[in-house]
Structure 1
């Protein structure tokens, strides 16, 4: 495992990485290339997904976000963005649910069968400080370090915004944000409803959010419409920030009001 920082005594501060055979990596690249070609050709990628998709990147995601902000400001409205954080996203992927999504993306026949064999009956052991653990069964994950991990994850998460009604959802792999222009108190209700829809998606797919890392940011001001915190899955207030770091870039509130409510 790779240490992410913080206490070295806490298991959650380590990132598991799978070590796979070089020959297998080459074969995975062939499979990945064909899957990506299929997804692009059949228009099956989520338009809001900018991670591990050709001609999309952190830059395209950030540029779209800035365009949304500028458009909102030019209209004289406020745009609120909620930055969500998955807890151990790659480790939480349920194999059966993932394979159902693979089939929904019309990946069947030989590749579909191969992916099922690739995921099922996997085992792992951990090597740390020269010591080796006992062999354990892998019940859910896409193996980090494997070539196919990223493309399998974006297939898993592809319909996260399928039932979202009013808001814009943008992703970079598991980095997720949801935004909506706020022109009235009714819009505030609509945004919370869409956030709740995404929470329900995680429950359905057996995924989990780390709500302690949620952050909320607003750009623009509207008279008589206050800025209040939205709610996490457990009903806690989402932290309102003047600055938020997203995709390695520090976002700063534009037109921040000193009357903004900070919990």
Structure 2
């Protein structure tokens, strides 16, 4: 499997994808290069994988005919219909797509797009169908090379009956000396963006994390407010599990990538946990540190530090070998 793929892979995740990709980008920026990133979006990727072409790929990579026949039998004779206001459409055969929610579906999809980056000179990073393309652009030749790689991806998509949602594909220009060159996909000029939501994390053209911190805190506060209004009980056994399950994940998703360094961002995230611990009965008059001690919680800053150490340990020990 290509080292560019981070989706549905052991020891790979959204976080490893983000860290590996933007580590490369930040190194190029630190060395004085301008960098262009192209964010690509496949239209209904999992639903449009053509079965015949998928099976041809499986045979080409060396799967036995017995296995290929078994997969073919598993995919074929599937039907679907639509129900609107109690009215049923006729049944139609499903000729494309991997069954979502299945164990085998994600693996088949990964195998289908495994050769997506072949022949591409720029850096390609993939998480399932979310694809990013980037390279330093210090000259017209660099821009031309990136455009050629984009054209190559368009050719790949056409060959394998996949389709890019051009309206959702964007370009982000990074670096103070960036030429802001335009790029086209299938004859359409791609829109420019100063901020993108990449695998659920807000990334801007300065590679800052303040907007992501604000968004994470806002989402967490919204859920916390729902708990406060909707749950009558203030017992620790009720509030604490709800906080851990529904609120804190918003503050810690892929946080080893976007962990805040500015004081006000750190305070903004911590403020959510301060509010949450005050909801518990009997904690209202205690200081934040006392509430944490009684509830057996650490500050979010300490939890991020622990996560940083675990992630670094995995890198050092080789769990994340060949990340790209």
Q: TM-score per shorter chain, which class?
A: 0.7 to 0.9
TM superposition shift of 1:126: 3.2
DSSP-derived class of the 2:152 partner: helix
* Distance of 2:87 and 2:125 partners within structure 1: 41
Query: Structure 2: where are the runs of 5+ without partners?
Result: 209-324
Match of 1:11 in 2: none
Is the aligned partner of 1:139 residue 2:95?
Answer: yes
What is the root-mean-square deviation of aligned Cα atoms in Å?
1.8
Partner of 1:232: 185
- 8 A Cα contact 1:220 1:255, kept in partner: no
Q: Using the alignment, how far apart are the partners of 2:184 and 2:89 within structure 1?
A: 40
CA-to-aligned-CA distance 1:31-89 (integer Å, 9 cap, x gap)? xxxxxxxxxxxxxx011010001111100100012211211012110111100111111
Deviations 1:208-230 (A, max 9, x none): 111000111122122xx621221
**2:147 aligned residue:** 192
What's the offset of the Cα at 1:132?
Answer: 3.5
- Select the structure with the greater relative contact order (CA < 8 A; seq sep ≥ 6): 1
Tell whether the 8 Å contact from 2:143 to 2:181 is kept in structure 1 after alignment.
no
Q: Contact 2:59–2:65 (CA<8 Å) still a contact in 1?
A: no
Distance 1:128 1:181 in 2: 50
Matched residue, 2:316:
none
Separation in 2, partners of 1:232, 1:220: 23
Partners of 2:140 and 2:176 lie apart in 1 by 13
TM superposition shift of 1:92: 1.2
Paired position in structure 1 for 2:46 = 90
Say which is worse superposed, 193-202 or 99-108, in terms of deviation. Answer: 99-108
Distance 2:85 2:63 in 1: 41
Residue 203 of structure 2: which of 251, 256, 261 is its match? 251
User: In the aligned structure 1, how far is the partner of 2:126 from the partner of 2:85?
Assistant: 36
Unaligned stretches of 5+ in structure 1? 1-44, 257-263
Bigger helix share: 2
* Structure-2 residue corresponding to 1:170: 125
Structure-2 residue corresponding to 1:22: none
Task: Measure, in 2, the Cα distance between the counterparts of 1:67 and 1:255.
Answer: 10
| Aligned-residue offset at 1:236 | 2.1
Q: What are the Cα deviations for residues 132-170 of structure 1, in whole angstroms up to 9, with x where unaligned?
A: 332111111112232222111111111111121x20111
The alignment partner of 2:70 has SS state of helix
Higher alpha-carbon Rg:
2
Q: Give yes or no for the alignment of 1:160 onto 2:102.
A: no
2:78 to 122, 147, 169: 122
Alpha-carbon offset, residue 181 of structure 1: 1.1
Residue correspondences, number: 208
Q: After alignment, is 109-118 or 155-164 more displaced?
A: 109-118
**Contact persistence 1:229–1:237 (CA under 8 A):** yes
Which residue in 1 is equivalent to 2:312?
none
TM (norm. structure 2) is 0.61
SS of equivalent residue, structure 2 residue 142: helix
Distance in 2 (alpha carbons) for counterparts of 1:255 and 1:246: 12
